[in-house]
Structure 1
Amino acid sequence: MQDDIKINTEAAESHPAKEIMPSLEELLKAAELQAAEHHDAWLRAKAETENMRRRAAEDVDKARKFAVENFAGELLAVKDSLEAALAAESPSMENMKDGVELTLKQLVAVFGKFNLHDIDPMGEKFDPHLHQAIQVVESEQPANTVVTVLQKGYRLHERTLRPALVMVAKGQD
């Protein structure tokens, strides 16, 4: 039996086994390379995220700054009309009135183009989202009905910019 062991030992020594597993140093180098690649990818992703955040902030700032650019451009024609009226040497009262009416039409057209509409709630039911009641008065109208509009309100699309100042009916007891 000892002879058998000797033979097996000799066979193992004459045919050294190929290393199947890499050495610990090679494993460590591979792991370090992989870690470096992941770190580099993370740094690049972080930088890209910061760049996107910065560009988005710049876009928001530009949008805020120039949001009224189109509206302002349309108002220039209204301003020109008012200046032309003031530059007239000796306009008659009738010409002045006609000029003011035309200028008002221009302004109303600009407002309409940009969905800026007035709130004129005469005779309507009081709505606290659209109206601001200044006073409650005796009236033949049903309770909470707008009986007097002191100042028109304005809405931009669906948002109330300024509520209408109104007087509301107290109603009959």
Structure 2
Amino acid sequence: MSQEQDANQPKPEDLEINETLDQASDAEVEAGEQPQVQSLEQAQIQALEEELAVANATISEQKDGVLRARADIENARRRAELEIDKARKFALEKFAGELLPVIDNLERAMQSANSEDEAIKPLLDGVDLTLKSFLSTIEKFGLEIVNPEGEQFNPDHHQAMSLQESTELPANTVMAVMQKGYLLNGRLLRPAMVMVSRAPSEGVDTQA
């Protein structure tokens, strides 16, 4: 009986062989599965990196779009402010132009009347007061008188009506103003009509 039991028990040599086979099997399993697990993790990391890159690109595009929209809104606001300011400054341009002949007539009345005549002196004083009050009022709305006598001729604001030789004044100097000019908020409403000096036997450069 004891001999049969001894025969059924594994021998030490067999145990060593089985252990060696088990170790070899585990090594094969590890060698076969570990690269597969690493490859799956790398694929997941790469996919996440690609998704992150796409998300960053989308955020960048949306940020650029917001900045462009903000810039467009700011430009539109500035243009609107400029148009409003321009309309406010020059809304009276046509009306002011219609008033200029009235000013001219009042000034002619003052120039042509005899200020030494006591009979009409009160009338002239009234016209003078009216003219000054009138000019003071329209100046509050940006109207500016162009009366360049003695100044250098400026073709942007002056219109040369005649030339006169002069040895006393430099060439291209305004000798006399035939009709005053006017600016409205810096914009020419009417040029001043002037007489311009010139050197003897020389022309005047009205474009200087």
Could you say whether these structures have the same fold, taking a TM-score greater than 0.5 normalized by the shorter chain as the test?
yes
Q: TM-score scaled by structure 2? A: 0.49
Q: Which has the higher helix share?
A: 2
Identity of aligned residues (%): 23
Task: From the CA coordinates, give the structure whose radius of gyration is larger.
Answer: 2
Unaligned runs of 5+ in 2: 1-19, 100-119, 202-208
Q: Using the alignment, how far apart are the partners of 2:136 and 2:75 within structure 1? A: 39
Pairs within 5 Å for 1:74-85: none
**Alignment check: 8 A CA contact 2:176 2:196 kept:** yes
Structure-1 residue corresponding to 2:63: 41
Contact 2:153/2:174 (<8 A) preserved = no
**TM-score normalised per structure 1:** 0.56
> Is it true that 1:153 corresponds to 2:181 in the alignment?
yes
Partners of 1:41 and 1:28 lie apart in 2 by 20
For 2:52, the equivalent position in structure 1 comes to 30
Instruction: Give, in whole Å, the separation in 2 of the partners of 1:158 and 1:59.
Output: 18
Contact 1:141–1:169 (CA<8 Å) still a contact in 2? no
- In the alignment, the residues of structure 2 paired with residue 52 and residue 40 of structure 1 have an alpha-carbon distance, to the nearest angstrom, of 18
Structure 2 CA distance for aligned equivalents of residues 127 and 66 of structure 1? 31
Give the aligned CA root-mean-square deviation in angstroms.
4.3
Read off the aligned partner of 1:105 and give its amino acid letter: K
Q: Distance in 2 between matches of 1:126 and 1:46?
A: 49
Measured against aligned partners, the alpha-carbon deviations of 1:10-30 in whole angstroms (never above 9, x if no partner) come to 4x939x699685632212211
CA distance change for structure 1 residues 33 and 167 in 2, over 3 Å: closer, same or farther?
Answer: closer
Number of residue pairs matched by the alignment: 147
Kindly state the Cα deviation for residue 171 of structure 1 after the two structures are TM-superposed: 5.4
